[in-house]
Amino acid sequence: MNTNEDTNIEESINKEIQIEKPQVIEASGDQTKSDKEESDKPAARKPRPRKPRNKSDKPVADPAAAEKANAEKPKADKPKTDKPKANKPAPQKAKTDAAKAAALPGSEAVTETAPKAQSKSGTKAAKVKSDKLRIIPLGGLDKIGMNITAIEYEDSIIIVDCGISFPDEDMLGIDLVIPDISYLKNNLSKVKGFVITHGHEDHIGALPYVLRDINVPIYATGLTVGLIDHKLKEHGLLTKTKRKVVKHGQSINLGAFRIEFIKTNHSIADASALAIYSPAGILVHTGDFKIDYTPLFGDSIDIQRFAEIGKKGVLALMCDSTNASRPGFTPSEIKLSKTFENLFTEHNMQRMIVATFASNVDRVQLIINTAHKFGRKVVLQGRSMVNVIAIASELGYITIPDNTMIDIKQVKNYPDEKLVFITTGSQGESMAALSRMADGSHKDVRIKPGDAIIFSSTPIPGNEKAVSKVVNELTMKGAKIIFQDTHVSGHACAEEIKLIYSLLKPKYSIPVHGEYRHLAAQAALANELGISHENTFLLKSGDVLELSKEKGRVIDKVQSGEIYVDGLGVGDVGNIVLRDRQSLAENGIIIVVLTLEKGTNHILAGPDIVSRGFIYVRESEVLMKEMRNVINNALDKCQTRNVTEWGKLKNEVRDDLNDFLWKKIRRSPVILPIIMES
């Protein structure tokens, strides 16, 4: 780089750090919106299919073209030294971060910087750049969901995704599970922003909770930002959080990183892979993806860009593992077009109900288009379905033909054969619309014999029982259930994963997104393609993986884990509370109420026994009488031994009663003695 270029970069950085409060803007820089304007509604996007960007537009230079242009620039005769100019303070730390990113290939990108205090001396010694990159997954590796990874280089951290997982069956009363972000809170000054691959809950769902502690800008594509905005608005965080829209093919600079968003295909529109450039090398994160050469709507995955990045030399690849154990290729979404036409033809005299994921905008668009072609009215059911389709429609990601969509209250005006319901509940969620239809609790829809119910999904691992329950209930009501050929996965199978590896040729393989068996399946694919076992890392949440061009190794372990969300409480329910809930659910509770005389501890009233979830008292009078005798004997023993401390009295009653019940009926209820004094 020549001296004139250095001066230009320094001048641009000076301009950046003079801005006290950067506004919420699109990453292209074409348009500026205030936080207040952003809070009203998401910015409208161009409807799909998207047209190629005109060459005259200059939001952010194409990374490949920028790199070529940089390479063609003449070099100075002498390399620039790190010696600062006379009588001029050394650049602040924020400038150093920006300069690192600006020096990367294709650095003409949106830059987010923040000024930092100078040292007391007002000068700063030259610092040798590290060749080490750290990758710290905080979730998403031991089960499906809760995807979040910290990427760290020196004093810069970016966070890739921030999702939730849903509670296991034994997590009674828990609504959501979010990641433990203690490491990020302890390194808050390093965190530059969130970069989000796509808008599924397991990638964005935890943002409203994490942003309360880590309030940094969010960067994502248009639909993803729209879905995030809806969540932030529900939590009262919309005006307090910066969101920036990045288009595919554009880049952003965050601290020491440049992040390029690459078009991929998935079961939600606007999904992205990330090419993360740092002084230590290029890291590629695929996000959730598949290779679809014939998508129903929008563009195919940008395979060419993957190949171009591979030619530069990729340090590491973090790749989606969900379908790594499945051979071959994932079928194209276009396959379903014919399937749905056949189903609408076959069931032309029945009411149709289609259950699918609310976020699968392209699938919903296909169903709407088919319904319109066959003259049916469409009714959306389920809160998330209504919300997602409203956002997608407003942003131009879905087109609803005139006079096709109707409200649930208008259903009575149309015969069954002219209706199709698109509903949530494909995973058997207990409160979803389809589940309520199945158990008869839906206030507007009653399942009728002959209804054609199409599951346009496959059960997520762990949801099989719930789905089976709903299917059985629907079948008992006389509905016809249709599963076959109604769904294609949004995740890459083995051959697609191998193609990505072949294009990128990474030195290190880091399988992500899946249970351990999924990660191991991808590791085996990487080894087949020539990546050594030593350079393949099956990480666990909290592992600190340090990579350089010479070697990679796990050097540390940071705090990670699960935080439970119960109602409005976040983190106030832990394993002890869950164990109590499990015990109460399995064995019930007995409450023993005693009134003792002050000083003597003689029984004045009781013992009264209250039982919940243990036995039905009216039908167990004999057992209740025996329990009272056990309690009286326990108190007599305490009196004989001059035990007067209430804590010891309660323990004696609890232990004796528990032993009696186990010997008598092999049950161990929660026993709660309550002593009052008179």
- Closest CA relative to residue 249, chosen from 277, 272, 224, 217: 272
Residue 43's pLDDT band, with cuts at 50, 70 and 90, is very low
Q: Is 487 annotated as a binding residue?
A: yes
Query: Is the bond leading into 669 cis (omega within 30 degrees of zero)?
Result: no
Q: Which residues does 601 contact at the CB level (< 8 Å), separation at least 6?
A: 635, 638, 639, 644, 649
Mean pLDDT lowest among 96-105, 522-531, 657-666? 96-105
Residue 108's pLDDT band, with cuts at 50, 70 and 90, is very low
Mean pLDDT lowest among 369-373, 474-478, 655-659? 655-659
pLDDT of residue 341: 95
Is 491 considered catalytic here? yes
CA distance 258 to 179: 25
- Residue 34 predicted with pLDDT over 70: no
Mean pLDDT of the region 278-286: 97
The mean pLDDT of the chain is 83
Query: Which segments of the chain belong to CATH 3.40.50.10710?
Result: 335-482
Residue 68's pLDDT band, with cuts at 50, 70 and 90, is very low
Q: Choose, from 62, 320, 362, 566, the residue flagged as catalytic.
A: 320
Express as a percent the part of the chain with pLDDT over 90.
58
pLDDT of residue 128: 64
Residue 73's pLDDT band, with cuts at 50, 70 and 90, is very low
Is 320 considered catalytic here? yes
CA distance 523 to 537: 8
The one-letter code for the residue type at 503 is: L
Mean pLDDT of the region 489-495: 96
Which position has the higher pLDDT, 328 or 429? Answer: 328
- Residue 312 predicted with pLDDT over 80: yes
Mean pLDDT lowest among 37-41, 194-198, 246-250, 293-297? 37-41
Alpha-carbon dihedral angle through residues 159, 104, 25, 358, given to the nearest 10 degrees: -40
CA dist list (Å): 74 to 4, 82, 109, 538: 11, 20, 22, 44
Contact 475, 481 (CB under 8 A): yes
Residue 642's pLDDT band, with cuts at 50, 70 and 90, is confident
From the candidate CATH numbers 3.40.720.10, 3.10.20.580, 3.40.50.2000, 3.40.50.850, the one assigned to the domain spanning 588-677: 3.10.20.580
- Closest CA relative to residue 564, chosen from 574, 555, 576: 574
Mean pLDDT of the region 282-296: 96
Mean pLDDT of the region 42-59: 43
Angle, to 10 degrees, between the axis of helix 303-312 and the axis of helix 63-72? 40
Query: Which segments of the chain belong to CATH 3.10.20.580?
Result: 588-677
pLDDT of residue 56: 38
Q: What is the CATH number of domain 335-482?
A: 3.40.50.10710
- Residue 468 predicted with pLDDT over 50: yes
The one-letter code for the residue type at 408 is: I
Write the DSSP symbol of residue 512. Answer: E
Q: Choose, from 200, 203, 491, 513, the residue flagged as catalytic.
A: 491
CA distance 360 to 392: 10
- Can you tell me which residue has the tokens 């100019």? 85
Mean pLDDT of the region 576-604: 80
- Closest CA relative to residue 350, chosen from 436, 482, 453: 453
pLDDT of residue 434: 95
pLDDT of residue 60: 43
DSSP states of 43-93 as a string? PP-PPSSPPPPPTT--SS--HHHHHHHHHHSPPPSSPPPSPPPTT-PPPPH
Which position has the higher pLDDT, 629 or 186? Answer: 186
Q: Is 200 annotated as a binding residue?
A: no
Which position has the higher pLDDT, 79 or 661? Answer: 661
- Closest CA relative to residue 563, chosen from 115, 72, 164, 86: 164
- How confident is the model over 159-186, as pLDDT tens digits? 999 999 888 777 777 888 999 999 999 9
Pull the structure tokens for residue 328. Answer: 């071959």
- Closest CA relative to residue 526, chosen from 501, 557, 559, 500: 501
* Strand extents, DSSP E, 330-426: 352-355, 377-381, 419-423
Q: Which residues does 77 contact at the CB level (< 8 Å), separation at least 6?
A: none
Q: Which residues does 469 contact at the CB level (< 8 Å), separation at least 6?
A: 428
Q: Which residues does 358 contact at the CB level (< 8 Å), separation at least 6?
A: 364, 382, 384, 385, 387, 388, 389, 424
Q: Is 198 annotated as a binding residue?
A: no
pLDDT of residue 600: 66
Contact 248, 263 (CB under 8 A): yes
- Residue 282 predicted with pLDDT over 60: yes
pLDDT of residue 153: 96
Max avg pLDDT among 101-110, 354-363, 600-609, 632-641: 354-363
Residue 27's pLDDT band, with cuts at 50, 70 and 90, is very low
pLDDT of residue 569: 75
- Residue 633 predicted with pLDDT over 50: yes
HSE-up of residue 24 (Cα within 13 Å, Cβ side)? 25
Residue 626's pLDDT band, with cuts at 50, 70 and 90, is confident
Q: Checking DSSP bridges between strand 552-557 and strand 543-547, what pairing results, if any?
A: antiparallel
CA distance 566 to 177: 9
The secondary structure of 258-309, three-state, reads EEEEEECECCCCCCEEEEEEECCEEEEECCCCECCCCCCCCCCCCHHHHHHH
pLDDT of residue 61: 43
pLDDT of residue 668: 86
CA distance 501 to 570: 40
- How confident is the model over 354-374, as pLDDT tens digits? 999 999 999 999 999 999 999
